[in-house]
Structure 1
Amino acid sequence: MTRSTPDGRAGAEKTVTTHMNREQAITEAFVSLTDTVADDVDPLTLLRRLADHCVRLTAVDAAGVMLVSARGRLQSAVVTEERVEITEMFQAQAEEGPCIDAYNVGEPVHADDLTASEGRWPVFAPLALAAGFAAAHSYPLRLRDQTIGALNLLARTPTPIEPKDGRLLEALAGTATTSVMTWSREPLRPYDIVTRTQAALSSKAVLDIAAGMIAATAQITPTEAVQRLLAYAAVHHQRPADVADALVRRSLTPQAVLPPQP
């Protein structure tokens, strides 16, 4: 048990330690987002790391990433929980919400309290509230002068983004976007941006099918199935996209991905 000294040194030491731990976590986050050479890393892995870091390092409870398709519409790419994907579907279908606005204007969009945003987003706000979220924020994913998607951040209680967290989120989003677009060892040409964004969305579609196969086999939720797939990929040092592709092509069985029963 830590006891405070009369001059408050124990409290000061705890503050310094906490600060150091956060600084270390932030450094590790940026390092993980620039890891584009590992054999088991692909664009969706990088985006998944972005979403996880946003939740771990700020006050938001859940996160996701939406990417623009070849048709110019935002689609869900990664989420930290199923309800996030539901809110992204609402935004895409209604063409309103923080991600839609952030993508269109190229600037962060904030709704600290969604109960006050029903006039702003008459379809999205009530549905997001019904899904259990009371605050929504979004940051555009930009590369050079092109916006390729939006970072979706949600909180279960009314939650503003502190200025220092806002700067951090913008930096994380920018780093992840650059890494995703330059992940291939081939030089990036202007028209490659759309191609690589579409490739990431195609990988997401295959991952969803593979997760469905695992979920049906093990009678678990799609979110749990994705976690099993990711765990299998990590243990075998494979890209999740390759594992998903093998499942869909039937060269790998769902049973092989599932851990042995005790």
Structure 2
Amino acid sequence: MAEAFIALADTLVTGFDLIDFMHGLAERCMDLLGVDAVGLLVTDQRGRLQLMGASSEQTRLLELFQLQNDQGPCLVCFRSGRPVHCADLAGPQAGAWPRFAEQARLAGFGAVSALPMRLREQIIGAMNLFQLQPGELDAGTAALAQAMADIATIGLLQERAIRESQVLSEQLQHALTSRVVIEQAKGMLSERHALPMDKAFTLLRQHARSHHQHLTDLARSVVTRTTDLPPPDSGQGPPASPQQDPLTS
């Protein structure tokens, strides 16, 4: 059991694979909880639930049916943030989601439980546990299942935070690189046309505006000598248009 919890928490390994992680979670839940099938729904970047793991093709299709018909215990669990237990898919409790219950029975399942994947108030998905025979999920098994869902949630949120941090770092690096290129272009224009640095920047900026170019792209072409800007008093080229400044990234 300890190995299972360590594996669920370890999303910092190089080459972390989300799909493999979710399928591994489904398999570990079956092994440790004694349930017959597991399905996992997790939110995407827009907050919409997506199927991310299933212990079998039959379970995968059932989870997709749940999403497409917008009814089922996993959806109720996700929206409420509370566990949902149905000890008998042929009983009255399943009447809240009749189409899902019918499909689950046709797939051979008699009971289902849905547990939220949450960290404090943040809910990122839900985990469905299916049993072939009707019956309550005992309290100890339910507590262990929730603990596994919670640990997996922490790991997933940690991985998301790292990924978002990397994206932000790349964006900042791109902005810094753009600024360096622009400064290089200013220096070259200043030396070539004997201009103060601020006048060289004005020349670069006006040319970019009048030719509908990104400032960074023009600066890069100046640095690589693929574009040769005329001096500001040469009269060459169209006048600057009154457009907004182009993006620099």
Band of TM-score, shorter chain: 0.5 to 0.7
Q: Work out which of the residue numbers 170, 183, 193 in structure 1 matches 2:146.
A: 170
1:128 matched to 2:104? yes
Q: Quick one: distance in 2 between partners of 1:107 and 1:114?
A: 19
Deviation, 1:88, is 0.9
The superposition leaves residues 84-113 of structure 1 with CA deviations (integer Å, 9 ceiling, x where unpaired) of 111111211221111011001101101111
Structure 1 gap segments, 5+ residues each = 1-25, 193-262
Structure 2 gap segments, 5+ residues each = 169-249
Deviation, 1:127, is 0.9
Q: Work out which of the residue numbers 67, 73, 76 in structure 1 matches 2:51.
A: 76
Contact 1:62 1:81 in 2 (8 A): yes
Contact 1:35 1:41 in 2 (8 A): no
Q: Quick one: distance in 2 between partners of 1:159 and 1:41?
A: 37
Pair 1:187–1:41, CA change in 2 (3 A):
closer
The superposition leaves residues 104-125 of structure 1 with CA deviations (integer Å, 9 ceiling, x where unpaired) of 1101101111011442211110
Equivalent residue letter for 2:159: W
Q: Following superposition of structure 1 onto structure 2, how do residues 87-166 of structure 1 map, counting pairs within 5 Å?
A: 87-116=62-91, 117-166=93-142
Secondary structure of 1:115's match? coil
Identity fraction in percent? 36
Equivalent residue letter for 2:129: L
Q: What residue number does 2:5 align with?
A: 30
Deviation, 1:185, is 7.1
Q: Quick one: distance in 2 between partners of 1:62 and 1:79?
A: 8
Pair 1:180–1:159, CA change in 2 (3 A):
same
Contact 1:54 1:60 in 2 (8 A): yes
Q: Work out which of the residue numbers 18, 21, 34 in structure 2 matches 1:43.
A: 18
User: Is the deviation greater in 148-157 or in 42-51?
Assistant: 42-51
Contact 1:73 1:92 in 2 (8 A): no
Deviation, 1:159, is 3.1
Deviation, 1:70, is 4.3
Equivalent residue letter for 1:99: C
Q: Quick one: distance in 2 between partners of 1:55 and 1:175?
A: 16
Secondary structure of 1:125's match? helix
Q: Quick one: distance in 1 between partners of 2:51 and 2:161?
A: 25
The superposition leaves residues 167-192 of structure 1 with CA deviations (integer Å, 9 ceiling, x where unpaired) of 11111000001101212673878xx9
Cα RMSD for the two superposed structures: 2.1
Q: Following superposition of structure 1 onto structure 2, how do residues 112-261 of structure 1 map, counting pairs within 5 Å?
A: 112-116=87-91, 117-183=93-159, 186=162
1:66 matched to 2:41? yes
Q: What residue number does 2:209 align with?
A: none
Equivalent residue letter for 1:69: D
Deviation, 1:133, is 1.2
Q: Quick one: distance in 2 between partners of 1:38 and 1:73?
A: 27
Secondary structure of 2:98's match? coil
Q: Pick the structure with greater CA Rg.
A: 2
Q: What residue number does 2:183 align with?
A: none
Pair 1:118–1:160, CA change in 2 (3 A):
closer
Secondary structure of 1:37's match? coil
Q: Quick one: distance in 2 between partners of 1:45 and 1:162?
A: 29
Deviation, 1:59, is 2.7
